[in-house]
Structures are given as structure tokens and as C-alpha cells.
């Protein structure tokens, strides 16, 4: 960017309300009141050669372009003060000497405005890039959180299914045990009934026969026939009972 010899680099801004630079402000007495500003007569404003003059100032390596928006003067000092409006909307007052020092031609002002626009465009691009990166990080975190939530739900479902299976298994065991006990009781009852019946059958047959040797032989023969049958029934009953007891223990 081409600049005139009147342009100074990195010179600090002046106070916006008084137009006094930092060095002059520091030299002022603390008790001195800030000077008020008033308008110049219309004729003087229109005739001022610096009216609408363009300036470019630099601060921290950045260019700030502006122009003389209005010509005013100090109420007490009666010195001219030039109200500068910059491209970014900021406003400050400069003295005539400062305006002349930073004044540029139209081409220089255009270059400064272009440079400032480029810087603003770059800043906006950087901000958008940062926002995109932040969004990507946020989306990644959200995806990780969703994945963790799904995994937690799966683990919870597995735990519930496992607990339900345990409950069902316990119920089945309880039911099987109750059935085995019932079956064992039935077998025991049947065995007792068969035993009682086996004992009662020979006596009944003996009472039906007349007294004498022949009936005795018949009783012995009858007893000999019934005894094996009773043993078979008892053995079968005991085997069934043992099987039922084994099922209960399992």
C-alpha cells in the first residue's frame, strides 16, 4: 500500500472528545477541565480546506481509514478540531496539524480501506473456521455421549434379562422340587397301600377256607405265591421314591 510522506506509523489515537493526543493529555494539569466543543460558523466550515479530507492511521500494525466528517472548535481555546469518522464507525477529534499529518490521497485511502476490509474478511473467516471446528468438536462429543448412552442401555437390558432368567430358573426349581415331593408322597402312599393290601390278602383267604390240614397247605401255597408279588411292588415303589428324591436334590 502506498502512503504519502505525511503518514506516521503506529501513532496512538487521540482522546475522542478533546482531540488531544496521549502525550499532551499526560502533560495537562489534573485540575484542568475538559474543553467543550462547539460548531464553527457555516461559512468557515464550508471554506476549510481540510473539510472531507481523507486520513489513514495505523495502530498495532493495522490501518484505519477515515475522513473529516465535521469541522468544529474548542469553546475556550477557539482552536479548530476536526471530527474524524473511521470506516469501522469509530469517531474521534484531531487537530489541524494531526489531520494534515495523516492526510492521504484518494488512492491511498482506497488502499487503506481495502486493507482494512481484507483484515476484517480474514477475521471473519477465522471466526467462521473456529466456529466450524467448535461445532465439529461439539458434534463429536454429542456422538460419543449418544454411543455411551446406547451402550449403557444395552448393558442394562442384558442385566435385566439375566436377572429375569435367574428368577425364572428359581421358579422352575421350586416348582420341580414341589412336584418331586408330591410324586414321592404319592409313591410312598402307594407303597404303603400295596404293603397293607399284601398283608391283608392271605388272612382273608385263610378265613374263607375250612379248618384242617388242607387249608393250612393252601395258606402256605397262597403265601408262597403272594410273597414275590409283594416284594416286586415294594421294590418298584422304593425305586420310584428314590428317583423322586434324586430329582428333588437336583
Contacts of 98 (CB under 8 A, 6+ apart): 14, 19, 21, 82
Flag whether 17 is in a domain. no
> Which parts of the chain register pLDDT below 50?
1-32, 205, 216, 218, 220, 222-224
* pLDDT value at residue 199: 79
Domain boundary among the residues 63, 84, 104 is at 104
- Residues 11, 19 contacting (CB under 8 angstroms): no
Flag whether 80 is in a domain. yes
Count: domains in the chain: 2
Domain boundary among the residues 104, 134, 156 is at 104
For the chain, how far is it from start to end, CA to CA, in angstroms?
A: 97
* pLDDT value at residue 250: 67
Flag whether 93 is in a domain. yes
**DSSP-assigned states of every residue in the chain:** ----TT--TTPPPPPTTT---HHHHHHS-TTPPPPPEEEPPHHHHHH-TTTT-EEEEEETTEEEEEEEEEEEEETTT--EEEEEEETTS-EEEEEHHHHHHHB--HHHHHHHHHHHHHHHHHHHHHHHHHHHHHHHHHHHHHHHHHHHHHHHHHHHHHHHHHHHHHHHHHHHHHHHHHHHHHHHHHHHHHHHHHHHHHHHHHHHHHHHSPSSHHHHHHHHHHHHHHHHHHHHHHHHHHHHHHHHHHHHH-
Domain boundary among the residues 104, 125, 159 is at 104
What is the C-alpha to C-alpha distance for residues 120 and 64, in angstroms, rounded to an integer?
Answer: 11
Flag whether 241 is in a domain. yes
* pLDDT value at residue 237: 81
Burial class of 80 by CB neighbour count within 10 A (0 to 12, 13 to 18, 19+): buried
* pLDDT value at residue 236: 82
Flag whether 234 is in a domain. yes
- 81 forms beta bridges with 72, 95
* pLDDT value at residue 173: 86
* pLDDT value at residue 166: 86
* pLDDT value at residue 84: 95
Q: Which domain holds residue 44?
A: 22-104
pTM over 0.85: no
Flag whether 70 is in a domain. yes
Amino acid at each position: 500500500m502506498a502512503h504519502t510522506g505525511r503518514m506516521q506509523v503506529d501513532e496512538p489515537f487521540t482522546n475522542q472528545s478533546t482531540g488531544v493526543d496521549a502525550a499532551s493529555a499526560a502533560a495537562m494539569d489534573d485540575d484542568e477541565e475538559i474543553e467543550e466543543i462547539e460548531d464553527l460558523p457555516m461559512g468557515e466550515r464550508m471554506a476549510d480546506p481540510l473539510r472531507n479530507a481523507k486520513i489513514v492511521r495505523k495502530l498495532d500494525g493495522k490501518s484505519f481509514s477515515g475522513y473529516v466528517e465535521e469541522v468544529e472548535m474548542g469553546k475556550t481555546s477557539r482552536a479548530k478540531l476536526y471530527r474524524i469518522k473511521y470506516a469501522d464507525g469509530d469517531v474521534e477529534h484531531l487537530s489541524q496539524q494531526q489531520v494534515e499529518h495523516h492526510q492521504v490521497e484518494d488512492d491511498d485511502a482506497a488502499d487503506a480501506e481495502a486493507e482494512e476490509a481484507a483484515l476484517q474478511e480474514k477475521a471473519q473467516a477465522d471466526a467462521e473456521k473456529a466456529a466450524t471446528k467448535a461445532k465439529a468438536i461439539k458434534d463429536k462429543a454429542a456422538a460419543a455421549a449418544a454411543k455411551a448412552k446406547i451402550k449403557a442401555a444395552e448393558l442394562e437390558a442384558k442385566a435385566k434379562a439375566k436377572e429375569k432368567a435367574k428368577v425364572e430358573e428359581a421358579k422352575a426349581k421350586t416348582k420341580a422340587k414341589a412336584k418331586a415331593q408330591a410324586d414321592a408322597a404319592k409313591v410312598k402312599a402307594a407303597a404303603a397301600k400295596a404293603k397293607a393290601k399284601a398283608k391283608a390278602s392271605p388272612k382273608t383267604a385263610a378265613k374263607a377256607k375250612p379248618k384242617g390240614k388242607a387249608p393250612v397247605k393252601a395258606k402256605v401255597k397262597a403265601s408262597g405265591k403272594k410273597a414275590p408279588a409283594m416284594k416286586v411292588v415294594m421294590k418298584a415303589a422304593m425305586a420310584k421314591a428314590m428317583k423322586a428324591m434324586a430329582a428333588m436334590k437336583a
